[in-house]
Chain A
Amino acid sequence: MLHPNSQHASSPRAEGTSSGWGEHVDLQTQATRTFLAWLARLISGASVRWIDCQPDTCQRVYFANHTSHLDVLVLWASLPRQVRNLTRPVAAKDYWEKSFIRRWIAKSVFDALLIDRKEIKVHQSPVDLMLKAMGDRHSLIVFPEGHRNTGADLDEFKSGLYYLAKKRPDLELVPVHIDNVNRVLPRGEFLPVPLLSCITFGPPMWLESQEPKTDFLRRARNAVRRLKDL
């Protein structure tokens, strides 16, 4: 399929292998994943830009603004296949366990980590669950705003990203800006309108030593926000 690439776009092949060429996935899952990724790109018309960042299979946390239920699918679909197979979205349990189809997509296709937003247990905090789900090879997709945002500007980030970075300082934190997907499928709608969206990956960042939580979260939020105008 022809799909638009800006001049920043790099080749869709993953480069550098810190933990082998992707995970072994059975044929049926792979076929479903490829089909869904293709469908997502067709509907969202997403052009993918990598700015000062290259696709890589090393362990990363992709953090993005959140405006639509399609965000997870579109962001996941815009990763190259090897990277995609190693990347697990973190999503809300209340949404993704609602129907059979959603549960199947979340479990079998995305291999998503579902977080219970309503009941956060002390002995099993979301951050610990995320670290466990990552192990030493997976990457995560998180939406630090914690909910779908309908306003024009990004909401304040929740602190999970900070604690992730603090416990695993080796992780590359990659800001991602998702543009226009909220118009493809706005909140409360179920039929998508095939407009053109744009996914921008920015340069990885890390937690500085001694950096206070609020400073870090503000820096992360600005990193996503500045990608909009690049």
Chain B
Amino acid sequence: MNLINDPITGGLVLGVIGLLALATGVGQILKRQNDPRFDPAVIEQFNLRMRAWWLMCSVLAAAFLLGQTATVILFFGLSFWALREFITLTPTRIADHRALFWIFLFAPVQYVLVGIDAYGLYSVFIPVYAFLFVPVRVALAGDYKRYLERCAKIQFGLMICVYCLSYAPALLNLPLPNGQNASLLLFFILVVTMGDAFHFAAEHFVGRRIIAPAISANRTWEGFLAGVACSSLFGAALFWATPFNPLQAAGMSLLITTMGFFGGLVMSAIKRDRGVQDYGTLVTGHGGVLDRIDSICFAAPIFFHVTRYVLPAVATTTAINM
């Protein structure tokens, strides 16, 4: 069933298209003028990114139009590719081969469980069952060299790339009072993405004190605070797409962008340790899939669970306001 079937979700989609069109227009104008203050390489990079954004938004919109199953499958595809990128960059030993084979089977299982809304199972499948399975399978292979490290790497990859990301499509199954799950998922993706963009811009203009110079030279405390503030305002302005009031929407956006920011920082730390710039080369101008979804991975489970906890309270206030 089409997920863009109500005016609120439709409005969000139109808003995104408008935003993209605006940014693309600005990029094209900047490309055509000859002001020496603008670096042509940066503009070219920006335009390349815009093209990739159009592509990604089209894919997401197509999945929404095709319905919930298609959206879950899309996120499964992202998880699968991110897991490939993660394990490819992670040194494993030949003895880990069978364990790795199994974790690539756990990914579709997790998404089937999300698709059929088996909350009691999908919320524990990877952190309990897969978590215990991995060390057992690695031990059975009989290679003890750097044993704990190898197990931890596989478990981490599975948790971040599959478990955490699967909470984004799981938002479609939350029992919301107004039933507008599609717009809640769009709200979430928009806030994460705009949060990244705000951070990027804020670090450029106000960034001074670098948080962790060895990990990321362009993540600063000022940029973090300004970015979080901007995206909280942005999220509050979108409260009509959520079951929250403006203040609650701002709080949720604060939570989402903070987690997203830390997600980017953590994944950067792993990249630095492996000595690479990006996880992959799938989308030109954007690096790999994991480079794009790191913030979503960290924000999704927290947003899902906090929404789930506060939902009864939110539902009551909504009912009173009505």
Contact = CB atoms under 8 A, between A and B. Distances in A.
A4 B286 CA distance: 12
Interface stretch (B87-95, B164-172, B197-205): B87-95
Contacts of A195: 84, 87-88, 100
Interface string B236-268: 000000000000000000000000000000000
A11 to B, nearest CB: 15
A220 B280 CA distance: 29
Interface string B272-309: 00000000111010000000000000000000000000
B101 interface: yes
Interface string B9-43: 00000000000000000000000000000000000
Contacts of B281: 4-6, 47
A134 interface: no
B84 A189 contact: no
Contacts of A187: 94
B101 A4 contact: no
A186 interface: yes
A193 B97 contact: yes
Given A186-B94, A189-B97, A193-B97, A2 B282 contact: yes
A180 B88 contact: yes
B85 A196 contact: yes
Contact of A193 (B85, B104, B284): B104
Interface in B130-185: none
A144 interface: no
A192 B101 CA distance: 7
A72 B80 CA distance: 25
A180 B280 CA distance: 14
A93 interface: no
A61 to B, nearest CB: 28
A5 B281 CA distance: 7
Contacts of A193: 87, 97, 100-101, 104
Contacts of B94: 186-187
B84 A183 contact: no
Task: Report which residue of A4, A45, A193 has the largest number of chain B beta carbons within 10 angstroms of its beta carbon.
Answer: A193
Nearest to B282: A4
Contacts of A45: 84, 88
A204 interface: no
Nearest to A182: B94
Given A4-B281, A4-B282, A47-B281, A186 B85 contact: no
B157 to A, nearest CB: 11
Contacts of B284: 7
A191 interface: yes
A194 interface: yes
- Report, nearest first, the 7 A-B pairs whose CB atoms are least far apart: A196-B88, A193-B100, A195-B88, A4-B281, A186-B94, A4-B282, A191-B101
Given A4-B280, A195-B100, 10 more contacts: A4-B281, A5-B281, A186-B94, A186-B97, A192-B101, A193-B104, A194-B80, A196-B85, A196-B88, A196-B280
5 contacts: A2-B282, A5-B281, A196-B84, A196-B88, A196-B280
